[in-house]
Structure 1
Amino acid sequence: MEILESIILILSLLIIANIVSHYFVSIPPSLLQIAAGVLAALFMHVKIYVDTEWFLLAFIAPILFNDGNNFPKRELWKLKGPILGNAIILVIISTLVGGVFVKFLIPSLPWATAFTLVAVLSPTDPIAVQSIAKKAHIPDKLMHLISGESLINDASGLICFKYGVAATVTGMFSLKSATIDFFHISIVGALVGAIMIWIFNGIRLYLINQGVDDSILHAIIQIIIPFIIYYVAEDIFDVSGVVAVVIAGILNISSNHNMSAFTPEIRLITSRTWDLVVYVLNGIVFVLLGIEIPFAMEELVHNDNINTFWATILAFAIWVMLVVIRFAWSYVYSTFSNNPDGKIKLWSKTRLYDCLMSGISGVRGAVTMVGVLSLPMTIKGGDPFPSRTLLLFVASAVIIFSLLGATILIPLMTKSSAPVAYRGNTFSSDDSDDSDDEEEESAPVELTQIEANRVILDKTVKKLRNEMDEGDTAVYSSVIAEYLNDIRNLSFRNNNSNVVSHQISKRRVKSKKDAELWDICFNCELDAIDELYENHEISDDSYDLATRKIAKYKKEIVHRRYNTTIEFFISYFRRTFLQIKRWIYRSVKYNDVQQMNQDSIKISIAGAKKALEKLQELDQSDQEDIDDNLIYIFQRHYEDRLELLQGKYRGRSPEFNSERMALEVKALSYQRAFVQDMLEQGRVSKVTANELRKNINYSEEVINIGVE
């Protein structure tokens, strides 16, 4: 009963704080949630014991999984250098340099304890910064960097913290053992996360393959995934569960936009369920943080050996130190890494400005608090943990200083007066507008319906472009092109494509006639390959690869017949193997891959043309052994392939249209969120917002009619 009462109380505080945030839009909701927790602790004497293990499992695991799932993969890859640098090297530097600084400020503090304090302060928390980003126009690159490093530095910071605590408790520390253990629990944790999400992805796809398309069931499976992965990584393999859920989120099939197997309903309901879960979990984390802060301060106030005012000054100095270290690291890294012409420019006002903003944006939050709360009460021999009360107070105060510093300083640095939008949607930095949109950088001005519609469409196009993955641009390009046309015309229109009711596959041969026609087409493709090779238009490797692939298909058509289950798993294993092989080969031999891709396009185009010529010949003949409808289906297959390769693809296959409709539904959900943002910022009236929503609803109904 006590647990139930605590849950109801925390949720009530969260609701109240978020309601208040609608009236005090200049204050980030995270600060109001902390304030709600503080007031509950002071006046209602609420005290909740926070256990590190269950807190990480119940809150950090799903939040980080969702962050990894939604993080733009292209940006993650482009910023891999600075993200890994900030998440690992900066954490280590902060721990070492900061530990020396803390030891200088507090000479009585043991070295191991000083390093422990700074280690737990190293992980950044982007949740509050994301809400501040609504008020201040933080550059997209910086927000991507902050969000990306937070996916990893929670693990690195907690590992450093773990060894700092162990050294304090036991009085022993081995750099060699710590380094080996660090790489072991990180690498194995990543492998556990990758393997388990691969299994879960296979299960979800298999359920769809078997016709199990219950959207609620799939949403529940998606929600339970991070909890299971974290538990298995931590309790069975004894590795980092944080790293495991982050990697799982990045590799989750829901973050891959080539998801034609899932219906729009499944994707939409899953997305909305995650919105609700993350909204609640994020809020609870900060409410709990607020509840813990007064008790940390109370212990310090009643401690005669520590001056409260001096402890507050120490906390402020440590926060400034962390900002300076982060700023210095960012400036040095950017100075020596961004030199395409090979010239090093030591001074840059713009770089100085950006690095200073990066330093201030390193807000501390939930992971820091739960880490410091897990400090043991005693060390080896039964003595009290050195200065545990002081560490708890300093960590709490640094969190507050970092939140207040970012809230006050970042808007001043960006010279923006737009209000902070509430966090009722899933958008963060990637949703911020282009810097050349003048209306975005000025004070809120109420827009007309046409102007607001233009802004919403622009933002939707930018969001879709940020999500577009390499190698999967056909669906996104089609939808984006339509939106660009809508921006020009400022009107929504129906664009239903003709859907082919039958779909063929060279790996799913259902009849003897299918096999015969495939054999004819494959022979045509082989003839085209031979012609290209004889004319020296493709390389030897490309020729060998293409002929082996077609020979493999021909062999499978003749010899292999599987039931749907065996066929699914063989296909799933094959795709996984090819993806790993492609990734490794691309990483090692980029130029060779580029040449192979160009040759592959030539081969595919020539093969499709040759096959179409033969199919046209068969269609005009009087052969009765091949069905005209089957020839027509094969013609559509090769025409679609040719259009796709030539950039003229209009998507006549059910898979393409299913993917397109899912993306259109997703884009409409973005538009709804953008309308709500503009309404909260005072940029549109309620009447205009209702008209915009009505148009969006109408567009969605058109899509639903197309599905039916």
Structure 2
Amino acid sequence: MEIIESIILILSLLIIANIISHYFVSIPPSLLQIAAGIIAALFMHIKIYVDTEWFLLAFIAPILFNDGNNFPKRELWKLKGPILGNAIILVILSTVIGGVFVKWLIPSLPWAVAFTLVAVLSPTDPIAVESIAKKAHIPDKLMHLINGESLINDASGLICFKYGVAATVTGVFSLKNATIDFFYISIIGAILGAVLIWIFNGIRLYLINQGVDDSILHAIIQIIIPFIIYYLAEDIFSVSGVVAVVVAGIFNISSSKNMSNFTPEIRLVTSRTWDLVVYVLNGIVFVLLGIEIPFAMEKLVHNDNINTFGATILAFIIWIMLVVIRFLWSYIYSTFSNNSDGKITLWSKTRFDDCLMSGISGVRGAVTMVGVLSIPLTIKGGAPFPSRTLLLFIASAVIIFSLLGATLIIPLLTKNSAPVAYRGSTFVDNEDTDSDEEDIPTVELTAKEANRVILEKTIKKLRAEMDDGDTAVYSSVIAEYLYDLRNIGIQSNTLVKSHQISKRRVRGKKDAELWDVCFNCELEAIEELYNNQKISEESYDLAVKKIARYKREIVHHRSNPTVEFFYNYFRRTYLQLRHFIYRSVKSDDIKQINQDSIKISIAGAKNALEKLQELSQTEHDDLDDNLIYIFQRHYEDRLELLQGKYRGRSPQFNSDRMNLEIKALSYRRAFVQDMLEQGKVSKVTANELRQNINYSEEVINIGVD
């Protein structure tokens, strides 16, 4: 009963703090949550004992998994150098330099305890600075760096902290053993996280393949993944659970915004469920931190060696030290890493401001709080852990100072503000819908039949506007709708939203037949290039084998769906690993093959397009024009990509496409209303159609958040 009462109380404090935060928008919610905990501890005499092991499992594991899941993977790769530098080298430098400084500042503190304190203060927490970033225009690159760094430095900081505590408790420290252990638990933890999430991804994809598309079920599976991975890593394999869940989050399939295997409903429910879980867990962490602070202060009041005011000054000085170390590291690193022209500029006002912002943005939070609470009460022999109360208070105060510093100083450095993007915003379109009515059966349509009619009318509407807009954007969206229309007659369980035609998504016999035609065209192009000695024999053999495999898998071979699914899943993984290893080890050897591969792909696409154009201008009973159009778009996109004209990944193209997708959804919603008013669909069917449209629209809005 006591546990239930504590949970209800903490959630109540969290709700109150977050309600207040809506009236004081300039204050980060995390500060108000800490304040709520402090008030509860002072006036209600609440004290909650936290077990560190279950706390890490219940709070840190899902929070870090979600961070890794949502982090932009392209930005993570682009900033891998500074992220790894901040997350590993900076943490170690901060621990060593900061430990020496703290020992000088507090001579009575044992060396091991000084290093322990700085190690637990090293991990950064981007949650609070993200809320500030909504009001102060922090550069995107800096925000990506802070977020990426926080994914990794939690592990490095906690490992350094672990050895600091162990050295204090046992009185023994081995740098060699600590270094070996550090790399072992980090590397094996990363491998374990990647393997486990690969297994979970396979299970989720298999369930979808079998028609199990219950959105609640998939959301629950997603939620339990980090708990299982963290538990297996820590308790079964004795490696870093923090590293394992971070890597798992990065490789989780839902980290991609193009989850074409999952319905919009599954994606929406899963995303909103994670929003709720992280919202609650992160808030509880700061409320608990607030509850702990008054008790640490109370013990300091009765301490003859140092008082609360003196400890507060020490905490402030230590926070300034951490900011200075972070600033100097950022400035030195950026000075010598951004000199592609060979010139080193020692002074730059812009670089100074950016690095200062980076130093202040290193906000401490949940991981620091969890670590300091895990400090044992006693050391070997039964004596009290040296200055445990002081460490708890200083760590708590540094968290508060870092939050206040970011809140007050970052807006001054940016000197401007950006509008806050609220979740759940919907697109409102007041344009008139197409007044042209097609002949629709007078009988009441099923949801499937009505959806077909709506897609056809939406395609017609978009084609009518195509001449007045960006042809490439319209073609991309129309091809997607045509493929969805194609899938209606083939899929039996669920309407999967496919973004493009693919060799991995063959929906029926006609798709396979058209692929066979295109493959033959590609083979002709390969033969011509080889006969004209424009490609090597090795490249020729690889290309022919590749096409032969596609023909065997797509055109001729239709095995048991379960066997086919797992065969393709394992094969894709094997090919990705082989490609990565081969590219890393034999990069010089594959240069010629890559060049030949580009020639082969361009020639094959051109040849296939010529054949498709010929088919589109002739009468054919076995193929329909919509399917040919879809394949044409596939090969046109390939050509644009290979020739450097591809805009599908540019911010402007994505923005225009997103706006057109939302516009198309507004057309679909209007067509549903028209059919309801005309008696073509029932209210139940109309609501089902509207719900699917709303799900699709919400999925687009998630990408904007």
TM-score normalised by the shorter chain: which range applies?
0.7 to 0.9
Match of 1:567 in 2: 564
* Matching of residue 48 in structure 1 with residue 48 in structure 2: yes
- Which runs of no fewer than 5 residues in structure 1 stay unpaired? 428-448, 451-477, 487-492, 650-659, 672-696
What are the Cα deviations for residues 253-290 of structure 1, in whole angstroms up to 9, with x where unaligned? 01123321111111111111111111111111111111
Name the stretch that deviates more: 173-182 or 283-292. Answer: 283-292
Q: CA deviation at 1:526?
A: 2.1
Secondary structure, counterpart of 1:343 in structure 2: coil
> Would you say the 8 A contact 2:360–2:410 is kept in 1?
yes
Q: CA deviation at 1:554?
A: 4.5
* Matching of residue 90 in structure 1 with residue 90 in structure 2: yes
* Matching of residue 542 in structure 1 with residue 539 in structure 2: yes
> Would you say the 8 A contact 2:120–2:158 is kept in 1?
yes
Match of 1:639 among 617, 627, 632: 632
Match of 2:622 in 1: 629
Q: CA deviation at 1:355?
A: 0.9
Q: CA deviation at 1:531?
A: 0.6
Match of 2:548 in 1: 551
> Would you say the 8 A contact 1:529–1:603 is kept in 2?
yes
State how far apart, in whole Å, the 1-side matches of 2:197 and 2:147 are: 21
* Matching of residue 525 in structure 1 with residue 522 in structure 2: yes
State how far apart, in whole Å, the 2-side matches of 1:400 and 1:266 are: 38
State how far apart, in whole Å, the 2-side matches of 1:331 and 1:617 are: 60
Question: What is the 5 A alignment of 1:8-407?
Answer: 8-407=8-407
> Would you say the 8 A contact 1:155–1:242 is kept in 2?
yes
State how far apart, in whole Å, the 2-side matches of 1:603 and 1:542 are: 9
What are the Cα deviations for residues 468-505 of structure 1, in whole angstroms up to 9, with x where unaligned? xxxxxxxxxx9xx99x969xxxxxx9998434526897
Kindly provide the amino acid, as one letter, of the partner of residue 532 in structure 1.
Answer: L
Go from structure 1 to structure 2 and tell me whether the alpha carbon gap of 1:545 and 1:426 turns closer, same or farther (over 3 Å shift): farther
Q: CA deviation at 1:192?
A: 0.8
Secondary structure, counterpart of 1:628 in structure 2: coil
> Would you say the 8 A contact 1:119–1:158 is kept in 2?
yes
Q: CA deviation at 1:534?
A: 2.6
State how far apart, in whole Å, the 1-side matches of 2:203 and 2:691 are: 35
Match of 2:486 in 1: 501
State how far apart, in whole Å, the 2-side matches of 1:121 and 1:702 are: 42
Go from structure 1 to structure 2 and tell me whether the alpha carbon gap of 1:257 and 1:108 turns closer, same or farther (over 3 Å shift): same
State how far apart, in whole Å, the 2-side matches of 1:223 and 1:572 are: 23
Go from structure 1 to structure 2 and tell me whether the alpha carbon gap of 1:397 and 1:577 turns closer, same or farther (over 3 Å shift): same
> Would you say the 8 A contact 2:521–2:608 is kept in 1?
yes
State how far apart, in whole Å, the 1-side matches of 2:12 and 2:75 are: 37
Match of 1:580 among 574, 577, 588: 577
State how far apart, in whole Å, the 1-side matches of 2:23 and 2:589 are: 58
Q: CA deviation at 1:586?
A: 4.3
What are the Cα deviations for residues 668-703 of structure 1, in whole angstroms up to 9, with x where unaligned? 69x9xxxxxxxxxxxxxxxxxxxxxxxxx9995696
> Would you say the 8 A contact 1:615–1:631 is kept in 2?
no
> Would you say the 8 A contact 2:27–2:407 is kept in 1?
yes
> Would you say the 8 A contact 1:186–1:240 is kept in 2?
yes
Go from structure 1 to structure 2 and tell me whether the alpha carbon gap of 1:257 and 1:318 turns closer, same or farther (over 3 Å shift): same
Kindly provide the amino acid, as one letter, of the partner of residue 353 in structure 2.
Answer: Y
Name the stretch that deviates more: 597-606 or 209-218. Answer: 597-606
State how far apart, in whole Å, the 2-side matches of 1:410 and 1:165 are: 34
> Would you say the 8 A contact 1:611–1:638 is kept in 2?
no
Q: CA deviation at 1:632?
A: 6.7
Kindly provide the amino acid, as one letter, of the partner of residue 603 in structure 1.
Answer: I
Q: CA deviation at 1:183?
A: 0.4
Secondary structure, counterpart of 1:94 in structure 2: helix
What are the Cα deviations for residues 167-212 of structure 1, in whole angstroms up to 9, with x where unaligned? 0011101101000000000001001110111011111110010001
What are the Cα deviations for residues 321-340 of structure 1, in whole angstroms up to 9, with x where unaligned? 11111111111111111111
Q: CA deviation at 1:402?
A: 1.1
State how far apart, in whole Å, the 2-side matches of 1:104 and 1:62 are: 38
Go from structure 1 to structure 2 and tell me whether the alpha carbon gap of 1:566 and 1:16 turns closer, same or farther (over 3 Å shift): same
Match of 1:652 in 2: none
Secondary structure, counterpart of 1:402 in structure 2: helix
Match of 1:607 in 2: 604
Name the stretch that deviates more: 631-640 or 120-129. Answer: 631-640
> Would you say the 8 A contact 2:482–2:627 is kept in 1?
no
Query: What is the RMSD of the two structures over their aligned residues, measured on CA atoms?
Result: 3.9
Kindly provide the amino acid, as one letter, of the partner of residue 287 in structure 2.
Answer: V
State how far apart, in whole Å, the 2-side matches of 1:23 and 1:121 are: 31
Kindly provide the amino acid, as one letter, of the partner of residue 80 in structure 1.
Answer: K
> Would you say the 8 A contact 1:98–1:321 is kept in 2?
yes
Q: CA deviation at 1:561?
A: 4.5
